[in-house]
Amino acid sequence: MANSDESATIYQVAQRAGVSIATVSRALRGTGPVAAKTRERVLRAVEELRFTPSRLGVSLASGRHAANGIVFPDLSGPYFAEVLLGYEEVASELGRSVIILSTRGRAAVPDLVRDLSRRVDGMVIFGQTVRDDVVAEIVDSGLPLVMIARDDVAGADVVASENTVSAARLASHLLGHGYRRIALAGGHDNGDITQRWTSVGQVLSEHGLTPPEPSPCEFTVEGGHALGRYLLSGPRPEAIVCADDQVALGVILAAEELGLSVPGDVAVTGWDDIMAARHARPALTTVRQPMRDLGARAARALDELITGARDTPRSQVTPTELVIRASCGTHPLEEA
């Protein structure tokens, strides 16, 4: 393989084919007429020189990056990975590369986001990863933007999965078990989690119970573990509703360490239905969220915004499903 180290440019192709660069461009992109013979000469030259158009040249001239960004808080844990998976798949189908940015533990997030915004045609941001003023700045700059799992933002699309109904179902189910002292593991986030807590609180209120204050913790197994030890050491709740599955797994671990049985001594529920939920001991009652679908929808919504197929922001909510397993108790009473 003849490797001139520096890859060929359109000028070299043009020279070799004995035509102008305009003709090369037209032949390659199919814009404008090119005689069959000429095209053939061009293609031969392209092949001989192993020419691939410089992405930068193309982008600068055409004004588009053919790339999308996605900003998430953290890639650890299955939730974000699954969303990303769905996102990348669709983006790739649409001919767009995906540039990722994780904000976890990063100091200069606004700058990183700004930087990202300069290299994409549009971006997706998970709720609560980027300050509101920075989000507003992005919207204001005219860059197509889709938010995932966040309250509506003026000027941006929102893709979220259903929280209120499923949270209410979950709460009702636990009440059906006869549990009354219910604790919430995981603090407010002004997004998904908050919606769930509000909904759970409402159901409890309707049943004459005082909605509990959620206990903050990191949304990881470790966070759940620490909080679990705390919650299970004081006056013990009958059920602990966790912000997500990882927290729930941590709580179960804590219960085990304290010699408590789940669900015998305390019921535990999660949210997301990650792989480990099914394999946990006991298997985790949780709410299944269509994670990949969320990412796929975000990618499509963004594409519409970028291509201009749509120019008014839209908010879409995908349904979720309550998955009853062993961790909330073995013999649930029938509920309304």
> Per rule CB under 8 A, is residue 311 in the interface with its own copies?
no
Write the interaction track for DNA spanning residues 56-75; mark x where CB under 7 A is met and - where it is not.
Answer: xxx-xxxx------------
User: Does residue 51 bind DNA (CB under 7 A)?
Assistant: yes
Q: SS in 3 state form for the chain?
A: CCCCCCCCCHHHHHHHHCCCHHHHHHHHHCCCCCCHHHHHHHHHHHHHHCCCCCHHHHHHHHCCCCEEEEEECCCCCHHHHHHHHHHHHHHHHCCCEEEEEECCCCCCHHHHHHHHHCCCCEEEEECCCCCHHHHHHHHHCCCCEEEECCCCCCCCEEEEECCHHHHHHHHHHHHHHCCCCEEEECCCCCCHHHHHHHHHHHHHHHCCCCCCCCECCCCCHHHHHHHHHHHHHCCCCCEEEECCHHHHHHHHHHHHHCCCCCCCCCEEECCECCHHHHHCCCCCEEEECCHHHHHHHHHHHHHHHHHCCCCCCCEEEECCEEECCHHHCCCCCCCC
- For residue 126, what are the β-bridge partners? 148
Among 18, 32, 33, 57, binds its own copies (CB under 8 A): 57
Q: What track of x and - describes contact with DNA for positions 189 through 228 (by CB under 7 A)?
A: ----------------------------------------
Binding segment for its own copies (CB under 8 A), chosen from 83-91, 202-210, 264-272, 306-314, is 83-91
From 154, 150, 158, 101, select the one nearest 128 (Cα to Cα).
Answer: 150
CA angle 135, 138, 144 (to 5 degrees): 110
Q: Which is nearer to its own copies, 137 or 151 (CB)?
A: 137
Total of residues contacting its own copies (CB under 8 A) = 58
Which of DNA, its own copies, none interacts with 326 (beta carbon under 5 to 8 A by kind)? none
Which of 46, 53, 122, 201 forms a contact with DNA (CB under 7 A)?
A: 53
Does the footprint of DNA cover residue 100 (CB under 7 A)? Answer: no
Q: Which of 21, 28, 94, 99 binds its own copies (CB under 8 A)?
A: 99
Q: Between residues 160 and 248, which has the closer beta carbon with respect to its own copies?
A: 248
Q: How far apart are CA 310 and CA 227, in angstroms?
A: 45
Which range, of 8-16, 174-182, 219-227, 297-305, touches DNA by CB under 7 A?
8-16
- In angstroms, give the least distance from the CB of 76 to its own copies: 6
- Please choose, out of 13-21, 36-44, 102-110, 210-218, the segment that lies near its own copies by the rule CB under 8 A: 102-110
Closer to its own copies by Cβ: residue 14 or 109? 109
Based on the shown chain and the rule CB under 8 A, indicate whether residue 94 belongs to the binding site for its own copies. Answer: no
Distance of alpha carbon 242 from alpha carbon 219, whole angstroms: 9
Applying the rule CB under 8 A, the residues between 206 and 225 that interact with its own copies are 221
Q: What is the largest CA-CA distance in the chain?
A: 86
Binds its own copies (CB under 8 A): choice among 78, 228, 313, 329: 78
Binding part of the chain for its own copies, among 17-25, 34-42, 91-99, 327-335 by CB under 8 A, reads: 91-99
What residues are paired with 97 via a beta bridge?
Answer: 67
* Binding positions for DNA, rule: CB under 7 A: 6, 8-11, 18-23, 25-26, 28-29, 31-38, 51-54, 56-58, 60-63
* Binding positions for its own copies, rule: CB under 8 A: 1, 3, 5, 7, 52-57, 59-60, 65, 67, 74-78, 80-82, 84-85, 88-89, 92, 97-102, 104-106, 112, 114-116, 118-119, 137, 140-142, 221, 246, 249, 252-253, 275-276, 279-283
